[in-house]
Amino acid sequence: MTEKLFWQDAYLKEFDAKVLEIKGKEVILDKTAFYARSGGQPGDTGEINGIKVVDTYYDANGNIVHLLEREPDFKVNDIVHGKIDWERRHKIMRLHTAAHIISAVLVNAFGNIKFTGSQIYEDRARMDFNLEKLDDEVVRFIEEKANEIIEKDLPVFSKIISKEELENHPELKRLMDESKYEKFDVLRVVGIGDIDLQLDGGTHVKSTKEVGKIKIVKRENKGKNNRRITIVVE
């Protein structure tokens, strides 16, 4: 299984790795700093030996597949140099951490919030959750509280936990269905200071201050008590 360098260091921009497999334009390395799309976070782009990586995703065996713009001129067992599109990745990291901050605000303010979906894009993120009322006043409240957390410059951290630890802390499951987390051999959580801790395999910034300013640019009603907000970071 591909070694996830982005779990060790989300700020790693370049790396060297050994080519394990090539199938047309698809390349598998023994290790990579490219995040593979999952959990609502898009896969990284960039280049390997100067050839553009246009998408990154998992195969059936849990290896990370790098989809190249064209078939490579390097071979299996070659050592290659990878470079991620850092500007794009960093914006996604800021948005992902912003989504966790808003999640913490919602849970703290409204209690038993059920999150029904989320998706991060290059320029925005959306979050779906159950809430009886989501008007302009509530939106302003969420935005204000989220930006207060940012100004506290809280540390953002990650750690690996056991399945036993997960069972003892069911609140960690709030953003993931049981059918999804049960298939993972390794469980990872991401925390923000002492205000939030949740299952997550994505990449994040080091502190809340690095997120910038959160703005909720759209709110929608998606059915009875089901709400959606779209956020950006500035």
CATH number of the domain at 54, please. Answer: 2.40.30.130
Please check whether residues 139 and 63 belong to one and the same domain. no
Contact between 156 and 205 under an 8 Å Cβ cutoff? The reply is: yes
Same domain, 203 and 116: yes
CB 30 within 8 A of CB 50: no
What pLDDT does residue 111 have? 84
Range of the structural domain that residue 198 is part of: 89-233
pLDDT of residue 185: 66
Looking at the fold, whether 102 and 156 belong to one and the same domain comes out as yes
DSSP E strands in the chain: the ranges are 3-4, 14-23, 26-29, 31-32, 46-48, 51-58, 64-68, 79-84, 115-120, 125-130, 156-161, 187-192, 196-199, 214-221, 226-233
Pairing of strands 187-192, 115-120: unpaired
DSSP state of 178: H
Tell me: the pLDDT tens digits for 156-190? 999 988 777 777 776 666 555 544 555 556 788 99
One domain, residues 94 and 53: no
Tens digit of each residue's pLDDT, the chain (234 residues): 899 999 999 999 999 999 999 999 999 999 999 999 998 999 999 999 999 999 999 999 999 999 999 999 999 999 999 999 999 999 999 999 999 999 999 999 998 788 888 999 999 999 999 998 899 999 999 999 999 999 999 999 999 887 777 777 766 665 555 445 555 567 889 999 999 998 899 999 999 999 999 999 999 988 788 999 999 999
On whether both 222 and 123 belong to a single domain, the answer is yes
Other CB atoms within 10 A of residue 20 CB: 14
Tell me whether residue 124 is exposed, middle or buried, using C-beta atoms within 10 angstroms of its C-beta: 0 to 12, 13 to 18, 19 or more.
middle
Are 118 and 217 part of one and the same domain? yes
* Rounded-to-integer distance, Cα 66 and Cα 35, Å: 10
My answer on whether 80 and 95 are in the same domain is no
- In 3D space, the residue among 170, 218, 222, 175 whose CA is nearest the CA of residue 200 turns out to be 175
Q: What is the CATH number of the domain that holds 196?
A: 3.30.980.10
Place of tokens 């959306």: 126
What would the two tokens of residue 20 be?
A: 């394990």
CA–CA distance, 54 with 35 (Å, rounded to integer) = 12
Q: Are 180 and 222 contained in the same domain?
A: yes
Domain count, the chain: 2
What is residue 179's predicted lDDT score, i.e. its pLDDT?
A: 47
112 and 27 within one domain: no
The pTM of the full predicted model, rounded to 2 decimals, is 0.92
For 91-104, the DSSP string reads HHHHHHHHHHHHHH
Q: How many CA atoms lie within 13 A of 222 on its CB side?
A: 16
